Amino acid sequence: MRIYTLAVYLFLYIPIGIIVLFSFNAGRHASDFHGFSIKWYGTVLANPFAMEALATSLIVASTTAVLASIFGTMAALALQKVKGRIRAIYDAAIYIAIMIPGIVIGIATLIALVTAFKFLNPVLENFWPGFLGDAPHLNMGYASVIASHTMFTMALVIVIVRARISGMDRALIEASADLYATPWRTFWQVTLPQIFPAILAGFLLSFTFSFDDFIIAFFVAGTETTLPLYVFSSIRRGVTPEINAIGTMVLTVSLTLLITAQFLLRGRGSQSSTQ
Amino acid sequence: MYGSWANRLLLVPATVWLLVMLVLPLLVVIIFSFGERGTAGGYVPAFTLEQYANLSARFTAFKNTLLLAPTGTFLCLLVAYPLAYFLAVKVHPKWKTLLLVMIIVPFWTSILIRTYAWIFILGGQGLPKVLGFLGIEGVRLINTPTAVLIGIVYAYLPLMVFPVYVSLEKLDKRLLEAASDLGSSPIEAFRNVTLPLSIPGVATGCMLVFILLMGEFLIPALLGGGKVFFIGNALVDLFLQSRNWAYGSAVAATLVIIMLVTVSIYMKLVVRNQQ
């Protein structure tokens, strides 16, 4: 039993280990290990396409994480007051957003936005006030990737923050009201500090999801290239040690954020048990 | 805490986002699936069932998906169950959290990079070459259904372990003691007590893995080498290469219908039985 468990953990972690190991391999292939070298990292850092894709991914992921954690927290706070049918509709939409495969979201968003833009662009051109310069031309790109990622990750933040709210001590809010604090002040001094770890965990998970997402961006990124899109097209051109170096960097980023998020969400458990 | 108008205001961004980026795009897919293909690709409004009648044109993709998705789900279960059992019943509580976090963390890191690791391992310069040194010649792994199944088990294992673990963790240990007091052998006790009580977790895990596998694109694309073709790969081809939006929408809608049927069977069998 123990041996079996160990074997499964090895199965989960060996591929990750191999990527990391061979990113430091001076040779080109898995079968020729030529000793330790960081030259592939140098190649990646000197590659303008990889660096541009990295910049795009960082912009998309940070914007997504900010939007998702603000809108998600707002919705989670508001939804505790919503009851009955309307609440059931929101819950259904949130679960559909989380459960539906990325590929369906990608396709649906692509055709919906391209169609909408086809109608909106002539309208914009005709009615755009001239003193504002040329009319903007709506197209797939940063905004569509961010909008799509925000939809999914916002649903995730709602679920995480809502779980934290339901574990919160109601008496504190009542006490705050009894002491004549305004609702706004109660929010800043009582509610927010209590739900903050959950918001931060939601932020980190949103960033990780957006940074790692391939399939949605594949459909809605237009001419932009995020890092996963760049890696995918590199793999299509052939396996190179450069991809190992990018992979190691990507894994390091996600692992750091994930472990921080886990730590924050676990802190929740121990905190509420001491209250 | 908040006046009703403030509460509504808090819900505005989430509502707009879910409407524009989730509900509207899904409606567009349904509408487009009854349309026709434009001469230069895209979509022409119409009301016809032609696209649905033509679904068999992508028979291989449906066949592969409906064959490999259940097989992959079952293999996931086979690997996950003993592990979940070990974690829930045998592991010292002190180690539980760490071991669980170690299962969930890979799931949140880039699926693209983790699948790429298997190209590296299963490819000609990887495992087959190592086996060659050991005297086992001519093993071909990459671009076979076996490679796709390995990739599937690797990617979706965490999603199966968790629900099974939760159902086994809840299990009342006194039931097992009672079974042994009444003369059951450990194997009989497992078969008559543990296994039936873990069925809800097993069903939840199978549903989650199966639904996500139905929309899988990356694993067959990278490890199946164009030979093992899923519905997801057909969708990418239909929307990004041949630009046949009407037919693609019908394929996507069918995919969603299969998933909805799976969820409703799950609801009928499991959720209702639990109440």
Instruction: Tell me the pLDDT tens digit for each residue of B154-184.
Output: 999 999 999 999 999 888 778 888 888 888 8
Residue A158 contacts residue A94 (beta carbons within 8 Å): yes
Please state the φ and ψ torsions of residue B243, each to the nearest 5 degrees: 50, 45
Mean pLDDT score of chain A: 88
**Does residue B14 belong to any structural domain of this protein?**
no
Interface check for B145 against chain A (CB to CB < 8 A): the answer is no
Question: pLDDT value at position B173?
Answer: 78
User: Cβ contacts (< 8 Å) between A246 and chain B: which residues?
Assistant: 113
Beta partners for residue B44, in sequence order: B36
- The domain locations on chain A are 54-274
**Does residue B131 belong to any structural domain of this protein?**
yes
Interface of B with A in 163-202 (CB under 8 A): none
In the predicted structure, residue B112 carries a pLDDT above the cut 70 = yes
Integer Cα distance of B163 and B204 in angstroms: 6
User: Cβ contacts (< 8 Å) between B118 and chain A: which residues?
Assistant: 15
Question: pLDDT value at position A31?
Answer: 58
Residue A229 contacts residue A54 (beta carbons within 8 Å): no
Classify A54-274 by CATH class. Answer: mainly alpha
Segment among A2-6, A199-203, B72-76, B269-273 with least mean pLDDT = B269-273
pLDDT tens digit sequence for B27-79: 999 999 999 888 777 788 888 888 898 888 888 899 999 999 999 999 999 99
Question: Which chain B residue has its CA at the smallest distance from A190's CA?
Answer: B1
CB contact under 8 A, B83 and A2: no
Question: pLDDT value at position B272?
Answer: 67
In the predicted structure, residue A271 carries a pLDDT above the cut 70 = no
Q: Single out the residue of B73, B113, B16 nearest to residue A213, CA to CA.
A: B113
In the predicted structure, residue A70 carries a pLDDT above the cut 80 = yes
CB contact under 8 A, A243 and B116: yes
DSSP 3-state of A36 = strand
| HSE-up of residue B19 (Cα within 13 Å, Cβ side) | 6
Question: Tokens 């592990």 map to which residue?
Answer: B83
Residue B22 contacts residue B29 (beta carbons within 8 Å): no
Please state the φ and ψ torsions of residue A134, each to the nearest 5 degrees: -70, 145
What DSSP element (H or E) covers A93? helix A84-99
Tokens of B52: 């649905």
Residue A29: band (very low, low, confident or very high) from pLDDT cuts 50, 70, 90: low
Domains in chain B: how many in total? 1
Which has more confidence, A29 or A44? A44
- Residue B132, domain extent: 58-274
**Integer angstrom CA distances of residue A10 from A16, A18, A131, B76, B154:** 10, 11, 64, 16, 11
DSSP 3-state of A1 = coil
In the predicted structure, residue A268 carries a pLDDT above the cut 60 = no
User: Cβ contacts (< 8 Å) between A243 and chain B: which residues?
Assistant: 116
In the predicted structure, residue B275 carries a pLDDT above the cut 70 = no
Integer Cα distance of A100 and B26 in angstroms: 11
pLDDT tens digit sequence for B212-251: 999 999 999 999 987 888 999 999 999 998 889 999 999 9
Amino acid A216 reads I
Question: Which chain B residue has its CA at the smallest distance from A104's CA?
Answer: B252
Q: How far from chain centre, in Å, is Cα A20?
A: 23
DSSP 3-state of B230 = coil
**Does residue B238 belong to any structural domain of this protein?**
yes
**Does residue B48 belong to any structural domain of this protein?**
no
Strands (E) across chain B are located at none
User: Cβ contacts (< 8 Å) between A262 and chain B: which residues?
Assistant: 101, 104-105
DSSP 3-state of B34 = coil
Interface check for B117 against chain A (CB to CB < 8 A): the answer is yes
